[in-house]
Structure formats: C-alpha cells, structure tokens
Amino acid sequence: MSKWEILLTDGLEDNGQELLRTAAEVENNPTITADDLLKVVGDYDALIVRGRTKVTAAVFEAGKKLKVVGRSGVGVDNIDLVAAKAKGVTVVNAPIATTLAVAELTLGLMLSLMREIPRADSGMKANKWLKKELEGCELYQKTLGVIGCGRIGAAVGDRARAFGMRVLGYDPLLTDIDIRRKGMEPASLEGIYQRADMITIHVPLNDQTRGMINAETIGKMKKGVYLVCAARGGIIDESALLAALGSGQVAGAGLDVLATEPPGESPLAAHPKVVATPHIGAQTREAQARAAGDIATEVLAALNNETLRWRVA
C-alpha cells in the first residue's frame, strides 16, 4: 500500500492524477460537500482543491494527518492561510500554469468590448443585421493601464503592445525598473486613472485590494473608460460599477469574476455594456493540464520534504 493518502475535492486532469498515483493512494471526490469533507479529511495526508472547495479553519482542525494543501491554480483566497500556519500545514499552488489562458481571455474581453462582438453575434443569431449600429473602437494607440504587473499582468501587456497599445503599469511590489523590464511605462494608480482608456486588473483579493475599484476611484478615471477584470470578484465594488455604467463614466466592462459566483440574477452581468463570462480565465485544456502536473509535483515534494517552488504558507 502506498505511503500517502491524497484527497481531490474539485477534480484534477488525468496527467496530475496519474503522477500522484505513482506515490500515493488517491481519492477523487469532485462533488464532496463541506460537511462531508469535515468527516473524512482526517484520513488524508494531502488535500488538492481548485476554487470550489473552501479550506476553512474547521477543515484544518479536522485534518489531523494533513500535511499539505495544494491549490490547482493561482488564487488561494479559498484557503485559510492563518489556520494553515497555526496547524503547521504547508500550502502550495500552481501560479504559472494558467498565465497564458487568463491573459488571452483578458484580450478577448477587451476586443469584445471595443467591437461589441457578443451583441453582433446575438444579432446575427436573431436574424438582425446590426451593421450600422456597431461602430466600435480600435485598440491601436489606446492607453492600457495594467494594475498588477505580475506574470499575468505582464503577459497582457505584451499582447496589448502587439495591438499597438501604450501600456502603463502599476504594482506596489515592483520597482519602476522592474516594470520597465516588463515592457510597461511605470505609473501611479492616480496616473493610470487619469490617462488610461482601458484598465485591466491583475491583483489578488485581500484586505488591501477588496473594493479598490469603487465610486471614488472610478470618479478619478477618464470619462468613458473601459474596465476589465479576470482576477477575483470583490476587487470591484459592483454597485459603484453599475452606477458608473449608467452615468457613462464607464463605457463598458469585461468581467470574468463577480463577488458572488454563480451570481444568480445579476443586474451587472445582464447589463448591455458588460461582457460577462463565468470565471473561465483558467479554463483551457492546456492550462488545466499544466496546473495538474505542477500541483501534483509540488504536493508530492511537500510530502517528501523536498524543495518547493511555490510555497504560499
């Protein structure tokens, strides 16, 4: 019998499962409830999740054998890192696997907004020829503000420059030299608000970023700005964005994330000036395969006390 017992609660691509099974017994239960997780987590040495499962303090308390929690993806806001540290449980993620997928979706949202592609498509499907109503704008020579210049923000900047955009970058964790090396012009948040025709957000959700795009900050932006967010719901104050869409302060928004997911009947997602997608930034076959391989390798390394590439806590 294998040494380690590993529980998957949100599924994992076959390549990742196969790698784990070379060294462990793996239980794949992608529909497990929060209550049932508390009942069984004590039997496992490792837990691997995506975004659905909430790894709360109660989970860590019940996980008597738990040595490592792996997040197959980037964001770890569904994992209580304070509780993990208190219980001595290592938390790892797979931060580079989904970079290209999220960056490409961000560009897709940008293009969809500027050229009203969803409206054009729905019109065609309804046998409506909306040609005269669909005069869009080009990305060429527009100014893009990138808030958060990590891997994804930098990848978006690279692709935006290929469209001939001017790219401003803001990141409190990077120096101006670092931002220039990523091909962006360093700017303050105020500078981005004042100058950018379009703003894309690539920061984690935490106490510092929650609601950072709100009525006050939107009021500082250029009238008619476009906003794009494929990071985390909650970074944008949705009521403030809805009001700004109504006033015309914001010309349109591309949102892959919302504060509540799924949102139910959401006036923001249904707004005609919003292109909304159901948190699919990382949902490509290639990205999911990369993430599965990366997190499987990292979790096994943690179990075997080997060097870790992506330790979060």
| Residue 261: active-site member | yes
Asked if residue 63 lies in contact with residue 41, where contact means CB atoms within 8 angstroms, the answer is yes
Instruction: Exactly one of 151, 202, 232, 290 is catalytic; name it.
Output: 232
| CA-derived radius of gyration, the chain | 21
**Going by C-beta distance under 8 Å and a sequence separation of 6 or more, which residues neighbour residue 269?**
255, 258, 263, 276
Distance (Å, whole) CA 94 – CA 288: 10
The CA-atom distances, in angstroms, between 295 and each of 32, 49, 50, 97, 290 are 20, 10, 11, 9, 9
Can you tell me the distance from the alpha carbon of 50 to that of 5, in angstroms, rounded to the nearest whole number? 18
Q: What number of helices (H) and strands (E) belong to the chain?
A: 12, 12
185 catalytic per annotation: no
Q: Which of 5, 195, 261, 271 is catalytic?
A: 261
What is the spatial distance between Cα 190 and Cα 180, in angstroms, rounded to a whole number? Answer: 18
Q: How far is residue 233 from each of residues 237, 238, 254, 287, measured CA to CA in Å? A: 9, 9, 12, 21
Per the annotation, the verdict on 52 as an active-site residue is: no
Cβ-contact 254, 113 below 8 angstroms:
yes
Catalytically annotated residues? 232, 261, 279
